[in-house]
Amino acid sequence: MTYVSAFTPCFPQAQADWYQAFDWIERANIIAFIAKLTFVLAATFIRLSLILFYYRLVRDSGITWFNWVLHFSVLWTLAVGITFVCFTIWLCS
């Protein structure tokens, strides 16, 4: 009588998880990094486009204080976008 075990070295699926190579993790991390940068940049540009739309709405209205609010909003949006991009790039460890 012959006994063949499914857990012999001839069957690679029988190996435990810690014996498997994790080459795919590095590629997945690169994809996640690029996706995060893309999301931050897209959100920043969407915010800026909405602020530019408000600039156009109040251009001839004579509301001067709202123009100053929009100026501050542009500066704030750019500062937040640049900060998040820098955090994403340099806090990667």
Tokens at 38, concatenated: 């893309």
Distance of alpha carbon 16 from alpha carbon 80, whole angstroms: 45
Domain boundaries, the chain: 26-90
Q: What are the residues whose beta carbons fall under 8 Å from the beta carbon of 24, sequence distance 6 or more? A: none
Q: Chunked in runs of 10, what are the mean pLDDT values of the chain (93 residues)? A: 53 57 78 93 96 91 88 96 92 70
- Quote the pLDDT of residue 63: 84
What pTM was estimated for this model as a whole?
Answer: 0.68
Q: Identify whether the C-beta of residue 85 lies closer than 8 Å to the C-beta of residue 40.
A: yes
Give phi and psi for 43, each to the nearest 5: -65, -40
Closest CA to 42 of 84, 76, 72, 71: 84
